[in-house]
Amino acid sequence: MRPARQGDFDGLCGLYALINALDLAAGSRPRAPMHRDLFVALAHALPRQKLRQAMDVGLEGRDLIDAATAAFPLFKKRLGGHVSVMRPFKRQVFKTDADFLEAISDIMASGRSAIILNVHTPTYRHWTVAETITAEDILIRDSWALKALSRGRYTVKRGPYRIHPSDTLLVHFRPFRRLAREGG
């Protein structure tokens, strides 16, 4: 029997995805006490009923944005900047998978940003972070066992394996500006 993993007994993948996306957007750093503190702050930012719901069926995008909006400002000094989380495609309809992948590729290439995807399969719903897009796969930074989403299997349209563009989250990191000292 394999060891238990995140997701086997809880639906907290969204909180892990926020932390994994922040690491990508702000520049990956080794796991530190700050990561645990951030996870706890995100969980505490959820209303008690939402946290109970997350343990059973997971969280919605709005829940993740609300938790991030409450928790991330508490860490801006430790992070060295400001973090924002939004749904960039909330009202946008993509005609093809390629259009969606191009849109998230552009965001990922812009720097200091990461994309959180909401993935649905016949057996689960899951939040994960897009790391790279290849011709065959969307490589992901995941809190569970997933390594990649096959572009041939997942679609933004109808089907048993879907990525929901309207639930896609953008995590953006804006570092503090360093004031240049004036010489004289």
- Exposed e or buried b per residue across 64-100, where buried means at least 16 C-beta atoms within 10 angstroms of its C-beta: bbbbbeebbeebeeebebebebebbbeeeebeebeeb
- Terminal Cα-to-Cα distance of the chain (whole angstroms): 69
User: What is the predicted pLDDT for the residue at 2?
Assistant: 74
What tokens appear for 19 in the block? Answer: 């932390």
Per-residue pLDDT of the chain (184 residues; tens, 9 = 90+): 777 778 888 899 999 999 999 999 998 677 888 899 999 999 999 999 999 999 889 999 999 999 999 999 999 999 999 999 999 999 999 999 999 999 999 999 999 999 999 999 999 999 999 999 999 999 999 998 899 999 999 999 889 999 999 999 999 999 998 755 555 4
Tell me, what's the pLDDT at 138?
97
> CA-to-CA distance for 152 and 135, rounded, in angstroms?
10
pLDDT at 183: 52
d(CA 56, CA 50): 10
